[in-house]
Structure 1
């Protein structure tokens, strides 16, 4: 994309970090009742991505006091999502955006700058398109067995085992394949259950979780844009969570107005479905807060016309006051631009015994905030099935003192003994966090 001289100059200043604002709170607004600042916009979008450095040999992130972190597995290829199987085996989706992601996007300064910085952030590597099985047979906290379970997928992300069927959320479809407990390689060809919106792939990650009886799948489908600038006709069925019949593939929109939902989890006490959502950009360093929320059947959460309830986004035209009036306020603000992806909710495990009941969240980290936010795993306490208090750090140290990305957390899961597993897609590792000495 060729930029006019004045915009090229502004982009160059952006790249050098000139004009950085005074330091702000690390995550901006957070909690159950955040006080949101006024929005601010500028001609040049704020972009500040941590260049990839990776971990040196034997280096690890930093665990919270009383906890210890070890490498469950290293030398993976962009590990994004984790699922623990009933027998204790761990599945890891090694994946990146599809090769055709971004095709058909309208040319814009925002897309040009974002694409440039995504390359610096390590997001331009080809997708491995596989699921790897990890097994810790001797229970020492390190996976000594590693096997390619399934390959030739399409940017796989979410996974769920229901009986003897493994469901996988590819970027373009939910597929299924037979699986027997203990199997380390699948030779069967996956069959399609349902197509998913894939045009342009502004948000390509698709996650899924099964209902308690296995009859339904809940599937996340992110938006195709920041605020609908690629045309609302390209948002059909997007910015939503689908409910899919696990047998027939028949589906409906379960909840909508969720710009980019990722992690999904059932709250053990109430049985309610929860998700973490990446909100919109370019309204300032402390807007809009990404969030954690319970998801209600038929509920609308505002995107693109409003954010965090009825806060109107004046950039979206024509206005839709009728839609704004329906927008539900999310349960919990996680902070602006922290990019929450991973989510697991625990009530009785080795980790929850240390932290209490609540949600573990993998914050992938900002690309457009000064100073950066996210780049850590946090814990949000729950009381009576709802979040309460401020987030607490569980795993940090993903940014070097010079601001380079040693790693970026994505998916989180509890292993068979209740320890926390964290997929690190920049560090190419899965970390295991457990109480020290255990």
Structure 2
């Protein structure tokens, strides 16, 4: 059956489509123990349309002691980035997914979400940015083309790994190389039927032996049936040499970015949780990923809070669900994560940067910024701090939406913006080095 939006969209009040219903922002939901209100149900979630606009002479805002510069523009849906050993920046560009709409409300949501995205077609390529003489001006070079919605990136020795929406592939890489020497070879296929959540986040283990790949669910809460969720909503651990793989952790609805905590082999992820039970449910989160752990999806959220919509229920599975480490707030749509270092300045040296793409399904928008989550003793500590903001104005005018965030070891934060198709570079000035650490100030 094909839906014909024109005939039934007219029957739905405009207020419902525009989000002029329930859904005021609730109490603070950030941190290890967020407040979880009672679930709300309705025909449609609140929806507020972002109004894209060019940056013009504006830029995102950053804290005192930092500067921000656009180092590449007019890209084709930049998603994630990777800093290469010589300082080159590799950018994955693409847009995937082919999931059919199941219900009329899915069509409505699709229309509204599309209005807040770039009209540019995804590049299906890797772009290399190179600052040859260190003057801050970057050449824009095409490293590889004809990929399939590339997203995750990892470099191990002379092997460059790319997570397409359907497979992990490998290129030979030599230091300073500006263009792939040939087509990639496939390391292992990835689940790609339907691809409701198509992004395939990736990072390498500290020793380079394994690749971790995040694979999102094929639905909000199993409305396509459990068969569609085989090998979904989990993180795979893949042998980088042979392609052999296993499920490393499960119950993560959509793990959109992965990284390894410096000085350890501990995997961390940001995860997008489920929708349609209210503006303040369910919190997206930042968490360490424990081998063999179950994080709740679809049966429960934030530990053992049962989602009554899921049928059949599985109490035994819920009993094993563990809580994530840190709530980022409901519907912020975290799509990037990376740990900081001392070169970023004392204030932001110990913690993780998180790129929040921004909400579409709540009356009071959240996200649309890069936050810094301070750490103490290896764990998140205290409230997040806005680090790159100004992507969305109070009137809904939206100039950018952050996705991937990558810390340059030499002291810079690289931010991919897939609405304006820009790569931003944030650097500390001398003044930033004398600031008090964020965690110490809380």
Find 2:126's aligned residue among 131, 135, 141.
131
1:107 aligns with 2:102: yes
> 2-side partners of 1:20 and 1:305: how far apart?
25
1:362 aligns with 2:363: no
> 2-side partners of 1:192 and 1:223: how far apart?
23
1:397 aligns with 2:361: no
> 1-side partners of 2:214 and 2:148: how far apart?
16
Instruction: Structure 2 unaligned segments of length 5 or more: list them.
Output: 432-442
> 2-side partners of 1:313 and 1:292: how far apart?
20
Which residue does the alignment assign to 2:67? Answer: 68
- Judge conservation of contact 2:172–2:181 (CA < 8 Å) in 1: no
TM-score (norm. length: structure 1): 0.94
Which residue does the alignment assign to 1:303? Answer: 297
- Judge conservation of contact 1:106–1:230 (CA < 8 Å) in 2: no
Which residue does the alignment assign to 1:164? Answer: 158
CA drift of 1:11 comes to 5.2
1:383 aligns with 2:376: yes
Q: Deviations over 1:283-324 (max 9, x none)?
A: 111110000000011000000000000000000011110111
Quick check: 275-284 or 397-406, which moved more?
A: 397-406
- Judge conservation of contact 2:22–2:46 (CA < 8 Å) in 1: no
Which residue does the alignment assign to 2:197? Answer: 203
Which residue does the alignment assign to 2:213? Answer: 219
Q: Secondary structure at the match of 2:200?
A: coil
Q: Secondary structure at the match of 1:107?
A: coil
Find 2:402's aligned residue among 406, 409, 412.
409
CA drift of 1:142 comes to 3.4
> 1-side partners of 2:13 and 2:148: how far apart?
34
CA drift of 1:125 comes to 4.0
> 1-side partners of 2:307 and 2:19: how far apart?
27
Q: Deviations over 1:137-178 (max 9, x none)?
A: 2223332x2110000000000111111111100000001111
> 2-side partners of 1:118 and 1:190: how far apart?
33
Q: Deviations over 1:22-47 (max 9, x none)?
A: x425x841111112111111122222
Find 2:137's aligned residue among 142, 161, 169.
142
| Structure 2 counterparts to residues 49-68 of structure 1, below 5 A | 49-56=49-56, 58-68=57-67
> 2-side partners of 1:52 and 1:201: how far apart?
26
- Judge conservation of contact 2:19–2:45 (CA < 8 Å) in 1: no
Which residue does the alignment assign to 2:265? Answer: 271
Which residue does the alignment assign to 2:226? Answer: 232
C-alpha RMSD of matched pairs (Å) = 1.8
> 1-side partners of 2:95 and 2:8: how far apart?
34
- Judge conservation of contact 1:45–1:110 (CA < 8 Å) in 2: no
- Judge conservation of contact 1:10–1:44 (CA < 8 Å) in 2: no
CA 121–299 in structure 1, closer or farther in 2 if over 3 Å, else same: same
